[in-house]
Amino acid sequence: MAFNDDYEHPDSLEYILESVLMCNDKSLEFNHLADDYNSVLLNQCLCNGDCQKSEICPHGGHYEYSTDGRELLLKKSSNPVIECHNLCKCSKNTCSNRLVQNGPRKNLEIFDSPVYGSKGVRTSENIPRGAFICEYAGELLTSHEAKRRLIINEELGSMNYVLVLNEYTSEKKQQVTIVDPSTRGNIGRYINHSCEPNCHIAAVRIDCPIPKIGIFAARDIPAREELCFHYGGEGQYKRVNDGKTCLCAAPTCTGFMPNTEIGQ
């Protein structure tokens, strides 16, 4: 799969293009995680041409073209998303159901955010609502390893980057994906929290049972505006924090970062 990601870290971290498996800790939980990581989704489409217009496509319908036809946008309430992949019969050049797999959008910039007093991400061009920003990529963790790292971070006073994505079917938790970009990650790790975010997260599967954590524009975003998502995630996802003071300065700011734990 061709993956286009030209961004680099300004910090001394290992830059990865997409999420990778944590080191083997010889646990049964790791074995289950590794099995999913190395599995391939065999459900393929038999479409000829544009999957968006095909009534028989088992994957399509999540994206639509912007009014100017320049890029694909995520439709509202299209979650979870399944993209076409290499086993599908559709053409890569005409398929309208391949977006996240192509890598992050261009014209993003890591900068020193005056609002947060830390690194942040902003855009140098206007971004339409529904546009793909980037993946929140890092190491895929077991819940045991995530809890272990959180304890170490608390003892050292280090920042937590761990994000827990919960997927539900009929209000029953179906799958949990845990990602930590603290030492291995991509540009997504620099996107800050806001109580009034301009981005949101969606689970996107391509050819693997483990979803990619895709960050999309929640509204039209003007050039030079900092990109943010809500670390609380309204029950679907949580970036684990310890109730630190929130610096977003939004009119509806709660004053504190979401206080969450692994397993919630």
Q: Using CA atoms, how far apart are residues 84 and 91, in angstroms rounded to an integer?
A: 10
Residue 264 has pLDDT above 50, yes or no: no
pLDDT at site 260:
57
Between these two residues, 1 and 206, which has the higher pLDDT value? 206
| Measured distance CA(242)–CA(14) in Å, rounded | 25
Domains, in order of start, for the chain: 103-239 (2.170.270.10)
Mean pLDDT of 55-60: 74
pLDDT of 125-180, one tens digit each? 999 999 999 999 999 999 999 999 999 988 988 888 999 998 876 666 678 999 99
Structure tokens at 65: 């073209």
The two three-digit tokens of residue 216, written as one number? 């999309």
Give ∠ CA 125-127-130 in degrees, rounded to 5. 165
The predicted pLDDT at position 143 comes to: 95
CA distance 83 to 62: 8
pLDDT higher than threshold 80 for residue 241: no
3-state secondary structure of 204: strand
pLDDT exceeds cutoff 80 at 185: yes
Cα gap 51→17, rounded to integer Å: 26
The per-residue pLDDT for 259 is 60
Residue-level length of the chain: 264
Q: Which of 147-156, 191-200, 249-258 has the lowest mean pLDDT?
A: 249-258
**Coil, helix or strand at residue 156:** helix
